[in-house]
Structure 1
Amino acid sequence: MASSVLPTPLLKDELDIVIPTIRNLDFLEMWRPFFQPYHLIIIQDGDPSKKINVPEGFDYELYNRNDINRILGPKASCISFKDSACRCFGFMVSKKKYIYTIDDDCFVAKDPSGKEINALQQHIKNLLSPSTPYFFNTLYDPYAEGADFVRGYPFSLREGAPTAVSHGLWLNIPDYDAPTQLVKPMERNTRYVDAVLTIPKGTLFPMCGMNLAFDRELIGPAMYFGLMGDGQPIGRYDDMWAGWCTKVICDHLGLGVKTGLPYIWHSKASNPFVNLKKEYKGIFWQEDLIPFFQAVSLPKDCTTVQKCYIELSKQFKEKFGKVDDYFNKLGDAMVTWIEAWDELNPSAAAALPNGPAK
């Protein structure tokens, strides 16, 4: 007789799912088979007096703006309001080794065979296998089933590097900026590419926060989504900012970043005119910000994520503080974020270095 005992989900007690939201979380019903075994951290944005309904049967904690202010006190100023950047508060209060964060308009996708994709399981596979940031493998992820290192791949590099970030993709509504949305309003992503690859060392990428997992112990303090939304001159660059900072620090500390599988189904296109209002300064600023991150160098004594991040904030303010006062505020908020992180995670603050600086 076959056993009726279900296998324990991977990393059940080592992973939190962080969801920023302003609405009832009915979308969780679709994710129930995959998410229910895990603990959820829900960050309620907007009006804290509004009640958010969570379907029964989920293990969760919910934080609103009042909770953030109560827990962080004056340091709550580093957490964005009326913007999905507020999700990073969930990263800070989590006590788990791994984080998966997803937006509430992301549904379960299907692969080309029609099978529902367990996005969380694929992210876990990505994080638990090494990355190859120093030499590109033309068969993509050599640790995936049915793949390996191709002829000519250096044997000295085949152990790979620890994977800090798993960046997933989306079917249906693509993650476009407002100008692209406006000229391609009907475009949908229907291409399913069955591949995971490591983003090479020295290469930046546009990180999307709607389907993202990371090793909180390896890179957590760098996953700050910046100052966005209410009272700020910019929005929709929260995940971009975190991605630039995280990739620079991963490269410095010898950590890997993967992108590709898993896919989710992005159900709803946001308003391109509203998006343009949020993005327009960022569209100009990024042309100077990205070269800064491409060229920035961290000293060898930056051996922890926190030290790297503080150094990055210092160099960033020196370079951009005179361009716009917002950048001074952002640079200060980066320091406040690290101080708040270390207060809530004292053991992490005293931890050993993350790895050898490269």
Structure 2
Amino acid sequence: MRQRTGEQDICVIVPTIREYDCVRAYVENAREHGFDTSRLFFVLVTEDFCETEQMEAMLDDLDVSGAVFDGSRREQWYEDRDIEEYGHVVPAASHAETSFGLLYMWDNPRFEYGVFIDDDTLPHDSDFFGGHMENLAFEGEIESVSSDTQWVNVLYQEAEEHGLYPRGYPYSAMDETVTTGTETIEQGDIVASQGLWTNVPDLDAVRILMDGDLQGQAQTRTEKDDFGADFVAAEGNYLTVCSMNLAFRREVIPAFYQLPMDDNEWDVGRFDDIWSGVFLKRACDLLGKQVYNGRPLCEHNKAARSTFDDLHNEVAGLELNEHIWELVDEAGTGADNYVDAYRAMADALCAADTDAYRNGEFLPYVGEHMHDWLDALSALKRVPADD
């Protein structure tokens, strides 16, 4: 672990088994824009078969604080804190291992903010970290978006031109009628800042195939001009939350578990950040909080791969994705904190009619892991234990 003196109130979480050098670009961006890098602590979540020593050397070369956690080091971290029984909440070799970064944050009270960065992204020429911090501190009037399907397409501003819907957006919610208005935000109301993406849009495999691309990317690309004013989704409306470019307040961690994907008997994958975003938005609606969307943008340089491989990883959960938001849409009424709100949503999934959906048994599996998540946080002495 490399530690520098400084405030270190921002934990930057990067899941990577590939191009970890993206960290260099984000550190350079911070320094170019005068952002104090002593506030940043980088947590690289990786695997035993990856270049952990080279990752540590990179942090040294950049003169920033951070730590690299492969599978063995994560196991040791659990053991050191006597929470080995909860190691299963973070799946190995899955994008959902970002949840380890959340556990690390929760165990270190100095971290007031978290930032998720995917390793196939790069910052634009604006102040990346400063932009996210400004969003989280935002107060004033902002555009509020809703639709007649209770879903907001985060790419809605140019949707009539490009026709894109992001990964995780329900097919049954398409062709929505969009309504915009203005909402007044008070200090502290913004608990998450979702930066959007240029170049390769974040699409699911079906939509990529419909766009005519067999390499897992997209023929239709996004540019800076495709994004207008920043916005929030109105209360009672859901939106896709992609963790490739996302900042958040510490307070949301109990309701922001990145769901257990890939390593399960139903082969459900690719919905970890999408479903966690659904649950976060429900919690936000209950508590009067908001997710800010728009800038700072990142450049998404998704590597070419078979679109059919992505389709294989997604298809097991496609039907569940159409309905999971409905299952939690009434959960937690009256809750006044993230723990109670999240516990109610976990209960709703545990009680779901598993015969109603293909791979329906995955729903209580997720609900049980959500309860385990809260218990893991409790074991770290931060939230009340589940009864």
TM-score normalized with structure 1 length: 0.80
The 1:188–1:196 alpha-carbon spacing in structure 2 relative to 1, beyond 3 Å, is: same
What CA distance in whole angstroms lies between the structure 2 residues aligned with 1:263 and 1:208?
Answer: 12
Alpha-carbon distance between aligned partners in 2 of 1:269 and 1:49, rounded to the nearest angstrom: 18
Q: Is the 8 A contact 2:44 2:69 kept in 1?
A: yes
Aligned counterparts of 1:176 and 1:153: Cα–Cα separation in 2: 28
Does the Cα contact within 8 Å between 1:15 and 1:97 map onto a contact in 2? yes
Amino acid at match of 1:101: F
- Match in the other structure for 2:210: 183
Find the counterpart in structure 2 of residue 80 from structure 1: 91
2:326 to 291, 311, 324: 291
Structure 2 residue 112 is matched with structure 1 residue 97: yes
Structure-1 residue corresponding to 2:52: 51
Match 2:134 to one of 125, 133, 137? 125
Partner of 2:378: 342
Per-residue CA shift, 1:125-168, capped at 9, x if unaligned?
Answer: 1001137699669xxxxxxxxxxxxxx979xx564761111111
Structure 1 unmatched ranges of 5 or more: 1-10, 110-115, 138-151, 351-358
8 A contact 2:142–2:185 mirrored in 1: no
Q: Deviations over 1:198-230 (max 9, x none)?
A: 21111100110100110012x111111111123
Q: Identify the residue that residue 11 of structure 2 maps to in structure 1.
A: 16
Work out the CA distance in 2 between the residues paired with 1:297 and 1:47. Answer: 39
| Structure-to-structure mapping, 1:300-311, within 5 angstroms | 300=334, 302-311=335-344
Q: Distance in 2 between matches of 1:216 and 1:169?
A: 21
Match of 1:355 in 2: none
- Rounded to whole Å, the distance in 2 between the matches of 1:101 and 1:255 is 20
Gap change, CA 1:318 and 1:132, over 3 Å in 2: farther
Closer/same/farther in 2, CA of residues 117 and 333 from structure 1, 3 Å limit? same
- Matched position secondary structure for 2:318: helix
Give the Å deviation of 1:29: 2.0
What is the aligned length?
313
Match of 2:281 among 234, 238, 247: 247
The structure-2 alpha-carbon separation of the partners of 1:188 and 1:12, relative to structure 1 and needing over 3 Å to count, comes to farther
Is residue 161–residue 256 contact of structure 1 (8 Å, CA) maintained in 2?
no
C-alpha deviation, 1:251, in angstroms: 0.6
8 Å Cα contact 1:130-1:256 kept in structure 2: no
> How far has the Cα of 1:270 moved from its partner?
5.0
Instruction: Kindly provide the amino acid, as one letter, of the partner of residue 8 in structure 2.
Output: D
Q: How does 1:251-262 map to 2 (within 5 A)?
A: 251-262=285-296
Contact 1:24 1:52 in 2 (8 A): no
User: Would the alpha carbon gap of residues 289 and 136 (structure 1) be closer, same or farther in structure 2, given more than 3 Å must change?
Assistant: closer
Identity %: 23
Mapped contact 2:17–2:50 kept (Cα < 8 A) = no
Distance 1:245 1:132, change over 3 A: farther
**Cα distance in 1 between the residues matched to 2:96 and 2:53:** 18
Report if aligned partners of 1:132, 1:160 keep a CA contact under 8 Å in 2: no
Secondary structure in 1 matching 2:223:
coil
Deviations 1:2-60, CA, capped at 9 Å, x for gaps: xxxxxxxxx9532111101113521222222245431111111x435753522122311
Verify the 8 A CA contact 2:350 2:367 in the aligned structure 1.
yes
Is the alpha carbon distance of 1:267 and 1:136 closer, same or farther for their aligned partners in structure 2, counting shifts above 3 Å? Answer: closer
Residues 136, 31 of structure 1: alpha-carbon distance in 2 compared, 3 angstrom cutoff: closer
List gaps (5 residues or longer) in structure 2: 1-5, 31-36, 147-180, 214-218
By how many angstroms is 1:292 displaced? Answer: 2.3
Alignment of 1:203-242 (within 5 A): 203-217=237-251, 219-232=252-265, 233-242=267-276
Q: Distance in 1 between matches of 2:123 and 2:11?
A: 18
1:28 is matched with 23
Aligned partner of 2:361 among 315, 318, 325: 325
Instruction: Determine the C-alpha separation between the residues in 2 that align with 1:297 and 1:133.
Output: 27
Partner Cα separation in structure 2 for residue 105 and residue 278 of structure 1: 19
- Match of residue 67, structure 1, among 69, 73, 77: 73
| Secondary structure of 1:349's aligned partner | coil
Change (3 A) 1:270 1:335: farther
Cα distance change, pair 31–49 in 1 and its aligned pair in 2 (3 A): closer
Once the two structures are superposed, residues 244-271 of structure 1 have per-residue CA deviations (whole angstroms, 9 ceiling, x without a partner) of 0000001101111111111000112453
